[in-house]
Amino acid sequence: MRFFVSGEIIRDPVKLVLMVVLILSSVIASPLRAEEPDDSRIIGQILKTRSAILQTTGETNAIFLAFWDFDGTTLKGDCSEGCYENGRLVYAGLAQEAIEHGLSRLYPAAGGYSQFWNDYTNLDARIGHWLAYPFIPQMLRGADAAAVRQLSRDYFSNTLSNYFRASSVHIMQALSRGGVTSQIVSASAELFVQGASASLGLPTNYIHGIQVAIKDGFLTEELIYPLTWNVGKRQKIQQIVDDLRQAEPKVKIYILAGFGDSYHTDGPFLEYIARQSLPAGQPISVFYDNTNAPAEYRGLFYQASHQATISGK
């Protein structure tokens, strides 16, 4: 057998096998390293806007922010509900994990998840997200908050981190190197989504979700507003910026970008970011779906795509 590589005919079978292994390794690995088609343009616009603001204002210590949805945008699937493909379970969600670890007083560890899922989906279909989403942390009332946090950290470390969107992680890291801080605002339970902190390399307090009050170390049913879905995400972002301004009154704060994948859940905060007037450059709201935008959002968002996960799963 002969193999032709870069002008050389390879006849040595051992050398040939090694060459084929190297080529196959490269082919297998390359999709995980490759950028999605929109990454460079998105990163370039955000960092160009940051540079333009600094040049225009003459500021030297401004804070630049990007806000991310989590489920579907940063993570393939849903960290609370799980992930299915063609009717096949890819991974269970943290709601199931929490129940099966005995962290719910409403639903028993053995067989309780199916009853929860029936209750949850009925709430969602018959009443709406506004009641269903908060029900996930509320059904853990009485649970040790530290135990829920540890379960979430462990599950992200061992399972969910395999399903981070490669593009999202790549953009976050590039923005961080360029001086733009990413924060997450999710409609999942905060104690669930904060489990991603170590895996994503983000401080825990940069990751926000639906909160319930914690008393004496145990979860309660008491919701802490705003609830981080729909307009509540926009309100949470405004709250975060207001808190930063109070902590750093002499420092200017600019939101340069938003990332989401649901018009219903993410539309209000993406619109808020896209309609800003900055001292220079343009903000960008990235929407990871190619469906037609509702009239109120038409032409506002940059529609992008991302398919690969960091593990290729």
Model pLDDT for residues 140-163, shown as the tens digit of each residue: 999 999 999 999 999 999 999 999
| 313 — pLDDT class (breaks 50, 70, 90) | confident
Note the pLDDT of residue 85.
Answer: 92
> Packing angle between helix 129-138 and helix 112-126, nearest 10 degrees?
150
Does the pLDDT at position 125 exceed 60? yes
How high is the pLDDT of residue 35? 61
- pLDDT > 80? residue 54: yes
For residue 206, give the amino acid letter: Y
3-state DSSP assignment of residue 17: helix
Instruction: pLDDT band for 11, please (50, 70, 90 cuts).
Output: low
pLDDT at 30: 37
Q: Residue 270: what are its φ and ψ, rounded to 5°?
A: -65, -40
> Distance between CA atoms of 173 and 194, rounded to whole angstroms?
18
Q: What is the per-residue pLDDT for 33?
A: 44
The CA-based angle 243-233-278, given to 5 degrees, is 65
Query: What gap in Å lies between CA 117 and CA 269, rounded to an integer?
Result: 28
Read off the tokens for 56: 């225009």
What pLDDT does residue 13 have?
52
Mean pLDDT across 227-246: 97
Q: Give percent of the chain above pLDDT 90.
A: 84
CA distance from start to end of the chain: 35
Examine the pLDDT at 196 and tell me if it is beyond 80. Answer: yes
CB 222 within 8 A of CB 213: yes
Could you tell me the CATH superfamily of domain 38-303? HAD superfamily/HAD-like (3.40.50.1000)
Listing DSSP states for 220-285 in one string gives: EEEEESSPSSTHHHHHHHHHHHHHHHHHSTTS-EEEEEEEES-HHHHHHHHHHHHT---SSS--EE
Give the SS3 label for residue 105. coil
Mean pLDDT, the chain, integer: 90
pLDDT over 90 (residue 250): yes
Which pLDDT does position 12 carry in this prediction?
Answer: 56
Amino acid letter, residue 49:
T
CA distances from residue 19 to 10, 26, 287 in whole angstroms, order as listed:
9, 11, 42
> Between 7 and 40, where is the model more confident?
40
Cβ–Cβ < 8 Å for 255, 270: no
What confidence score (pLDDT) does residue 36 get?
A: 78
In whole angstroms, what is the distance from residue 171 CA to residue 92 CA?
27
Q: Residue ranges of the domains in the chain?
A: 38-303
Confidence of residue 21 (pLDDT cuts 50, 70, 90): very low
Give tens-digit pLDDT for 258-299: 999 999 999 999 999 999 999 999 999 999 998 899 999 999
